[in-house]
A and B are shown apart, each in its own frame.
Chain A
Amino acid sequence: NAFEISSLITILSYLISFSFQQRIEIHKLRQGDNLILGFSIGGGIDQDPTQNPFSEDKTDKGIYVTRVTEGGPAEVAGLQIGDKIMQVNGWDMTMVTHDQARKRLTKRNEEVVRLLVTRQSLQKAVQQSMMS
């Protein structure tokens, strides 16, 4: 009945909105002396946000995934181009400089990086599917 359906939708959309923020755990790969994640980032509060091709809001100075190495640890873990990185191992990444973000991601003593990311495409997909 209608009530059940609407509450189901509520629950679903709650779950989905939750999944807009996705946790991704990347195990770094040793490459020579370095541990690599296999993706690149753009953005940061010291960068020009208008140049970010991935953001909806062109004042968004967040850190975005700009490239992902094929077959690399990030891709394996499910990271995608355009993902916005919200946190790295619990550290906020929405108000950091580009370099700070890079440093956070490349801590030598951390072999595993846990990201919290949001994915525009995911949101859109969900919205569209719910509209239709």
Chain B
Amino acid sequence: MKDLACTSDSHVHEQSPSNQTSIAMMQEPQEMVEETVTVEEDPGTPTSHVSIVTSEDGTTRRTETKVTKMVKTVTTRTVRQVPLGPDGLPAMDGSSPMGSYTDSIDRRYLKNGERFITPQASSTLTRSYNSYNDSYPESHEGQYRPYIGHDGYGDLSDNYGSLSRGVNYRPRYAYVPGGTYRPDDGSFTLPSRRENYGPVAQPQVPVGSSVDLNRSQPERFQPEPYGLEDDNRSLGVDDEGYELDPDYSTVNRRTSAGVPERGRPHKGRGYDDPIETEMVEERIPYLHGGYAAPLAQPERGSMASIDRLGKRSPSIDSIRKDPRWRDPDLPEVIAMLSHPIDPVKSNAAAYLQHLCYENDKIKKDVRHLKGIPILVGLLDHPKPEVHRKACGALRNISYGKDNENKVAIKNCDGIPALIRLLRKTNDMEVRELITGTLWNLSSYEPLKMVIINHGLQTLTNEVIIPHSGWESEPNEDSKPRDAEWTTVFKNTSGCLRNVSSDGAEARRRLRECDGLVDALLHALQSAVGKKDTDNKSVENCVCIMRNLSYHVHKEVPGADKYQELDAGQTTGTGGSQKKKKDDAGCFGGKKAKGKKNGDLDRNFDTLDLPKRSEAAKGFELLYQPDVVRLYLSILTESQNFNTLEAAAGALQNLSAGNWMWSTYIRATVRKERGLPVLVELLQSDSDKVVRAVSIALRNLSMDRRNKDLIGSYAMGELVRNLPSRQQRSAKNLEEDTVVAVLNTIHEIITDSSENARSLIQTQGIQKLVAISKSSQSPRETKAASHILQMIWSYKELRNALQKDGWNKSHFQSVSAAPKGSKGTAGRSGYDDSTLPLVDKSQDNEKSGSRDMIPMDELGPDGYSTIDHRDKERKYKTSDNTGDASEKEPLKNDTNRKNINRSNRASVNLVDARDIKPQPVDSWV
């Protein structure tokens, strides 16, 4: 068969715990979210790359990779600063080294008692604090509580201290500060802590950690989606396996450019504190203007950790800035993951997440320091705070081009652990993190099957089905639910989209996964119903459907029962022929297939679809003609190029099969008036859409009536997509696309001199000759030459051609001949390399598909047809002897032409015979 494409997109997520970011988000959370959406879905911005890969079975497939970054900023900066003594070593006692800071801070505390907002403090911090308060109206209390009330803090520090003894710093500083942060909202009091650590509690420094902590609370995130951000930076360096779409990354980079993770914040909050200012200055490239948060040190730390200038180590940066403090180094942080005190664990994990954000080096280091198994172990931790933070860290670690990190997560059974946690938790944020991590992991080929093995049914049951709105046993009374396009659904569908491209076995597993196909279809129907077809989740669903439709005609159980009969018998392309076949018993005894939906049934009256006693379900839904309408609706409504491509690709896959369902699909596309929809999409600005549509048209034209219609009404658009002499083409299409268009033209004019005439009339010859003579691409040259030879073979057209000034030499291109015979390996020359994406997988299948192509059949009209064997011979011949012989079998053309003409009289792009009573007018 031809052109079955498989798409897989890899979406990678990374979260960054950046204070800056979060603050920025607080400022205009909506906008950030908008931005993300725009970038991802802007149809004008191709977000994926398509590369052809050859799978194990030799099938060509396209792997599309999309790298999407959804970043949630959650920072828990726990162990940020360690005071250093005058000697440069970490101070054992926080108070003494603090010096002047101590004074000022003490003053604040003393004067204001519990309140952090002192006159001074106000003067310097008010602005930021205020906005902070605004954004986080009520949550502070709740957030901080745990810390506040934590009597163990004192002990904590001790324990902590022991942990960190090696480095001579006192853990409590790290934590303490966190507590102190509260003050900024003015309502928080941290009596004990403050007293103890007051000195340390410079608002900027220690505070930061607690702030971050608080931020990471899910409750906060919900109302204020400030956490979403593009991780622009890591985008740039992402997965090599998944080529980043240039545009996409550009866009992201652009948005982030001077504004690395923390960048967004510039909301122009000035930070007046001298110390902070100083730090800000150091970071100037990132933070000109407004410093968003009053969290000096923590911010700084994060800066440092991702600093592009190479100050990779968090500690260096902070030491430089303030010799009394230093960050814990990575081994220390990882050690803290195993600390007996839970908050230490969670803070360490959160800090790790932050450090890893967009920093491949740190991710690698974490791996080398054996941090990943520890994090995975924390996934099973009973405390939500701990497993949430661990999951956040894993999400960032799993993002990036370093697949070793992904493998490391898998090697310590991280995938089953994630799935376990997904089953266990109801916390939406955790679910987002889990599915985001899985999405990241799913972008690496070797992990796809692992995810399927451990998580497919869980992901389907826990996420896909509930969010799709599908109910296996719908309540009669309630109306069908709509899909919810949640982040969790988006992540999960992205993950499944990736794993669905992992070959036949993966497809089989997904098809047979209970409820998956049903739920995806329901979600898509809901999207169409609500005219909400542009979003990412829809894109993911369509891509999964497309992948699952790939080779469906040979991979689903019992597919062989539906195979078209031997060529001699299979004459039908239309309904009546089909019927004949049914009578022949090929179909009758099957498990009943019918339309579940009475209303759909009507449309297939003439198609004689077999009646079903029960509704189609599961994978059967993939190829029921009902789906045609769904895909066509998407093709009509969606503005998302990826979605358009995938929907066209699904039709392409479904119409390619050599079984009866493909025949139905081809006819249904026509009956549902799909041809005009597809032809219109040939005008698309998107290369890949044009390509997918073109290949779909080629497959559809195996149906004779489709071929006539496409020849009459699509030729102009097809030719328009070809490069002309002056320019590559108006759209500058890629070679693959040009070749696809050429092959479609070839298919359309094959056995149809009438269509060949259309080609001449649309001035196609000039372009074809130009391509065959001067294209830089051998594939284009060859494909164009094939067409020209075909045209010349129609003797009845030669007069017209010669009148236009063409002669034989234009049509007998040297370059065309020999390479074409590449196909000799296969059964027919048709499958040569000029025909892109041809399924070259299995010989037997190829012969099967060859047989099934009813190119010469005229269907219901009962005109004589050229036997398939002839066709076969034709191609074989051409293989052996070159182009000249290709004409041979076409001797009948005169005949055929007349036939076609007579057929064509009533033919319109929408076949008159298929027209249903149509509303004469419609309100708009």
Contact = CB atoms under 8 A, between A and B. Distances in A.
Given A46-B915, A103-B636, A66 B673 contact: no
Contact of A100 (B531, B676, B915): B676
Interface stretch (B120-128, B315-323, B805-813, B916-924): B916-924
Contacts of A100: 676-677, 680
A102 to B, nearest CB: 5
Interface in B891-924: 908-910, 915, 918-924
Given A46-B908, A47-B918, A97-B676, A109 B923 contact: no
B915 A41 contact: no
B639 interface: yes
A64 to B, nearest CB: 8
A110 to B, nearest CB: 11
Interface in B20-54: none
Contacts of B918: 46-47, 98-99
A98 B918 CA distance: 9
Interface string B669-709: 00001001100100000000000000000000000000000
Contacts of B909: 45-46, 97
A126 to B, nearest CB: 27
Interface of B: 531, 636-637, 639, 673, 676-677, 680, 908-910, 915, 918-924
Contacts of B922: 40-41, 98, 102
B923 A97 contact: no
Contact of A97 (B531, B910, B919): B910
A31 B578 CA distance: 45
A46 B909 CA distance: 8
A96 B676 contact: yes
Nearest to B633: A103
Contacts of B924: 36-37, 39-41, 102, 105-106
Contacts of B676: 96-97, 99-100
Given A96-B676, A99-B673, A100-B676, A45 B921 contact: no
A59 interface: no
Nearest to A34: B531
Given A97-B673, A100-B677, 13 more contacts: A40-B923, A40-B924, A41-B924, A46-B673, A46-B908, A66-B921, A97-B909, A97-B910, A98-B918, A98-B919, A99-B673, A103-B637, A108-B637
A106 B923 CA distance: 10
Contacts of A40: 921-924
Interface string A97-132: 111101101101100000000000000000000000
Contacts of B910: 45-46, 97
Interface centre among A41, A96, A97, A100 (most CB of B within 10 A): A97
Contacts of A36: 923-924
A106 to B, nearest CB: 5
A19 interface: no
The main secondary structure of chain B at its interface with chain A is loop
Nearest to A26: B924
11 contacts: A39-B923, A40-B924, A41-B924, A45-B908, A66-B921, A96-B676, A98-B922, A100-B676, A102-B924, A108-B531, A109-B639
Contacts of A51: 920
In order of increasing CB-CB distance, the 10 nearest A-B pairs are: A42-B921, A105-B924, A46-B910, A66-B921, A40-B923, A40-B921, A37-B924, A102-B922, A97-B676, A108-B531
Contacts of A66: 920-921
A13 B380 CA distance: 84
A90 B910 CA distance: 23
Contacts of A27: none
Interface of A: 36-37, 39-42, 45-47, 51, 66-67, 96-100, 102-103, 105-106, 108-109
A42 B923 contact: no
Contacts of A96: 676
B8 to A, nearest CB: 28
A7 to B, nearest CB: 39
B471 to A, nearest CB: 23
A81 to B, nearest CB: 11
Nearest to A37: B924
Nearest to B923: A40
Contact of B921 (A67, A103, A106, A108): A67
A47 B920 contact: yes
A108 B532 CA distance: 9
Contacts of A105: 924
Contact of A41 (B639, B673, B677, B921): B921
Contacts of B637: 103, 108
A17 B910 CA distance: 34
Contacts of B636: 103
A97 B924 CA distance: 15
B42 to A, nearest CB: 12
Nearest to A109: B639
A98 to B, nearest CB: 6
A91 to B, nearest CB: 9
Interface centre among A42, A66, A98 (most CB of B within 10 A): A98
Contacts of B908: 45-46
Interface centre among A37, A96, A103 (most CB of B within 10 A): A103
A36 B922 CA distance: 12
B906 to A, nearest CB: 12
Interface centre among A37, A51, A96, A108 (most CB of B within 10 A): A108
A42 B673 contact: no
Contacts of B919: 98
Nearest to B530: A33
B760 to A, nearest CB: 20
A105 B673 CA distance: 18
A105 B921 CA distance: 13
Nearest to A46: B910
A102 B636 CA distance: 11
A52 B919 CA distance: 13
A16 to B, nearest CB: 29
A87 B637 CA distance: 19
B439 to A, nearest CB: 28
A121 B531 CA distance: 37
A127 to B, nearest CB: 28
A3 to B, nearest CB: 44
Nearest to B534: A109
A60 to B, nearest CB: 15
B170 to A, nearest CB: 59
Interface centre among B531, B636, B910, B924 (most CB of A within 10 A): B924
Nearest to A72: B923
Nearest to A65: B921
A26 to B, nearest CB: 10
A41 B920 CA distance: 8
A90 to B, nearest CB: 12
